[in-house]
Amino acid sequence: MKTSGEITRRSFLKQLSVGGTAVGLTPLVVPAHALGLEDHTAPSERIGVALIGLGRQCMWRNLPVFARRRDCQILALCDVDRWRLQVEDNPAVADSAKAHQWDPEILKSCFRTTDFREALARPGVDAVMITTPDHWHIPIALAAIRAGKDVCCEKPLGLAIRHGRILADAAAKARCVFRTDSEFRSIPHLYKAVALVRTGKIGQLKTIRISVPIVWNETLPPQPEMPVPPELDYEMWLGPAPRAPYTEKRVHPMKSYGRPYWYCNRDYCNGMICNWGYHPADIAQWANNTELTGPVEIEGKGTLPPAHYLWNVILDFKVRYRYANGVEMFYEGRTQYSDGQSYMRFEGTEGWVCGWYAPDRLEAEPKSLLTVEIKKEEFPYPLKNEKHDFLDCVRTRGRTLQDAEVGHRSTSIGQLGYIACLLGRKLTWDPDKEQFVGDDEANQLAQGDPGRAPWKIA
Residue pair 428/436 in contact by the 8 Å Cβ criterion: yes
Identity of the amino acid at 227: P
Closest CA to 131 of 186, 70, 50: 50
Answer whether residue 434 shows pLDDT above 60. Answer: yes
Residue pair 246/234 in contact by the 8 Å Cβ criterion: yes
Tell me the CA distances in angstroms from 131 to 63, 332, 427, one per residue in order. 10, 26, 33
293: how many CB neighbours lie within 10 A of its CB? Answer: 17
Q: What is the DSSP letter of 55?
A: S
What pLDDT, on a 0 to 100 scale, did the predictor assign at position 339?
65
Q: Is 359 exposed, middle or buried (0-12, 13-18, 19+ CB in 10 A)?
A: exposed
Answer whether residue 289 shows pLDDT above 60. Answer: yes
Closest CA to 260 of 51, 58, 4: 58
Identity of the amino acid at 371: T
Nearest-angstrom CA–CA distance, 49 and 61 = 15
Residue pair 369/353 in contact by the 8 Å Cβ criterion: yes
The confidence band for 449, taking pLDDT boundaries of 50, 70 and 90, is low
What pLDDT, on a 0 to 100 scale, did the predictor assign at position 217?
85
Instruction: Determine the average pLDDT of the residues in 109-115.
Output: 97
Identity of the amino acid at 440: D
What pLDDT, on a 0 to 100 scale, did the predictor assign at position 32?
38
**CA terminus-to-terminus distance, the chain:** 34
Name the β-bridge partners of 78.
52, 113
- Helix 440-447 and helix 404-423, axial crossing angle in degrees, nearest 10: 130
Determine what percent of the chain is predicted with pLDDT higher than 90.
Answer: 82
Whether omega before 224 lies within 30 degrees of 0, making that bond cis, reads: no
Answer whether residue 455 shows pLDDT above 70. Answer: no
For strands 47-52 and 361-365, give the pairing.
Answer: unpaired
Residue bearing the bigger pLDDT, 32 or 263: 263
Residue pair 92/253 in contact by the 8 Å Cβ criterion: no
For the residues of 269-326, what is the DSSP string, one character each? ---TTTTTTHHHHHHHHHHTT-TTS--SEEEEEE----TTSSB-S--SEEEEEE-TTS
For the residues of 199-248, what is the DSSP string, one character each? TTTTSSEEEEEEEEE-SS---B------PPPTTB-HHHHHTTSPP----G
Question: What mean pLDDT is reported for the chain?
Answer: 89
427: how many CB neighbours lie within 10 A of its CB? Answer: 23
Nearest-angstrom CA–CA distance, 372 and 376 = 13
Closest CA to 129 of 176, 92, 178: 178
The confidence band for 336, taking pLDDT boundaries of 50, 70 and 90, is low
Identity of the amino acid at 343: Y
Q: Where are the alpha helices (DSSP H) in 175-253?
A: 188-198, 234-238
For the residues of 403-427, what is the DSSP string, one character each? -HHHHHHHHHHHHHHHHHHHHTS-E
Q: What are phi and psi of 260, to 5 degrees?
A: -70, 155
Which residues lie below 8 Å from residue 153, measured CB to CB, with a gap of 6+? 129, 130, 137, 140, 141, 178, 179, 180, 181, 407
pLDDT digits (tens, 9 = 90+) for 201-233: 999 999 999 999 887 788 999 999 999 999 999
Answer whether residue 88 shows pLDDT above 70. Answer: yes
Instruction: Determine the average pLDDT of the residues in 235-262.
Output: 95
Residue pair 1/112 in contact by the 8 Å Cβ criterion: yes
Q: Is 184 exposed, middle or buried (0-12, 13-18, 19+ CB in 10 A)?
A: buried
